[in-house]
Amino acid sequence: MHPAAPHPTPAAPNAHAVPASDAASAGGPVHPAAAGPGPAAADRPAPPPGAPARPGAAPTGVQGTSVPAQPAAPAAPSGGVRLDRRASDEGGGGDDYTLQAPDPRVAAEPHAAVCVACRAGRVDDDGYCENCGHAQPRERDHMEQECGPVAAVSDRGLRHHRNEDAFAVGTTTLPDGSPVSVAVVCDGVSSATRPDEASLAASRAANASLLDALPRGTHPQQAMHEAILAASEAVNALADEQPAEAREHAPQQNAPACTIVGAVVTAGLLVVGWVGDSRVYWIPVDRSAPPARLTEDDSWAAQMVAAGLMGEAEAYADHRAHAITGWLGADAYELEPHTAAFKPDRPGVVVVCTDGLWNYAESADEMAEAMPADAAARPLHAARVLVGHALDGGGHDNVTVALVPFPAAPRGAGSA
């Protein structure tokens, strides 16, 4: 996505805030998930003949980020199984294969990272195996988290070399003891510097702000507004961390930037907030009422439609459609957080996602069709399905989605 010129803030969806109280305690279990394959080892030395290239897995971490140690599997014995060359091809007999002997440096260094592909080579500081040249999975290539009834999944996609999305989910209680669920999703602006750091900083700051404010009795809509401001400050701080020498040699580089979208779900109230073109959708559980999109993009296409200059189909078909007109970052125009509050009259699922998903399910009806019918009961499974839908469609961008069942369920509830 690329920043565009500023424009008047689009009107938020019709909504009305209804006071709600808030409360204490937080957290939820984190479930590990397999990391997708790392980026191709382009510009690396060609792997030697017979070197397998099978990606491995890495656990995920907290608040939408993986925090694993480097893979530390023991070196494979010399009599293991190879996938590429038979022993008979080298003058031996039988159908067995032979693994290359482990790198002696790995054995000498107990904490050295071992290649997930050949299980023998040492991983260099650039993240490549010194034995077979295989690129190792990055910690954010694929992330999953389930926190009580809330679940989120993020994937690098099929075309990008890194994942510049981030998410954070959590649960707590309001002052009256009723449950509240929180989900924040951020998408780094690729044309800016360090977009992956921007999305991570924003998601963490917004989530922490919400989980701090809601138990203290701050109204959810006000808490969302404050959370977006906290996220903005966190992203702005990244620009100050860049050394003066680096700024002098690359003055044309934009400051770190990202979009943000979030949802707060209580027993009777749904609050959304956003800056940029990440979205929130509402999908009724029984599909007895039409689904709806609850956010309006800060984008060139949305600006054209709002001004009556183009129809929606024409605007989003234009090559300028996804140029964003609002974002978080030190070089952003005046920050205008959008918030809206709703009181749904039936159970449903709140879909919080980046454009890496909604590009493949743009309308609310398309999103509802792509989402499994049991998403409220199995949010983690449904989030995986939605990410898979985007990957099957081409996976041109990073893909992130968080699912929050409405009304908020007590902590401890989770995927079946």
Q: What is the mean pLDDT of each run of 10 residues along the chain (416 residues)?
A: 46 38 36 38 43 38 39 41 40 47 58 76 83 81 95 95 96 97 97 95 98 98 98 95 58 84 98 98 95 96 92 89 92 91 97 97 97 97 98 96 94 58
* Long-range contact pairs involving 73-79 (C-beta distance under 8 Å, separation at least 24): 73/114, 73/116, 73/119, 74/114, 75/102, 75/103, 75/106, 75/107, 75/114, 75/119, 75/120, 76/102, 76/119, 76/120, 78/102
> Residue 159 has which token pair?
């075309």
Cis peptide before 407 (omega within 30 of 0): yes
- Residue 295: name the closest of 224, 376, 360 by CA: 224
How far is residue 182's CA from residue 113's CA, in Å, rounded to a whole number? 36
β partners of residue 265: 181, 270
217 exposure class (CB count in 10 Å sphere: 0-12, 13-18, 19+): middle
Please tell me the pTM assigned to this model. Answer: 0.69
How far is residue 147's CA from residue 100's CA, in Å, rounded to a whole number? 42
pLDDT of amino acid 231: 98
Question: Given CA atoms 99, 101, 107, 112 in this order, what sign does their dihedral have?
Answer: negative
> Residue 170 has which token pair?
């959590």
Helix (H) or strand (E) holding 232: helix 220-241
Q: Is the distance from CB of 201 to CB of 236 less than 8 angstroms?
A: no
In single-letter form, the type of residue at position 373 comes to A
First to last CA, the chain: 36
With the CA atoms of 135, 137, 142 and 144 taken in that order, what torsion angle do they form, in degrees rounded to the nearest 10?
180
Q: Is the distance from CB of 127 to CB of 183 less than 8 angstroms?
A: no
Residue 367 phi/psi, 5° resolution?
Answer: -65, -40
What is the b/e burial string over 101-127, where b = at least 16 CB atoms within 10 angstroms of the residue's CB?
ebbeebeeeeeebbbbbbbbbbbeeeb
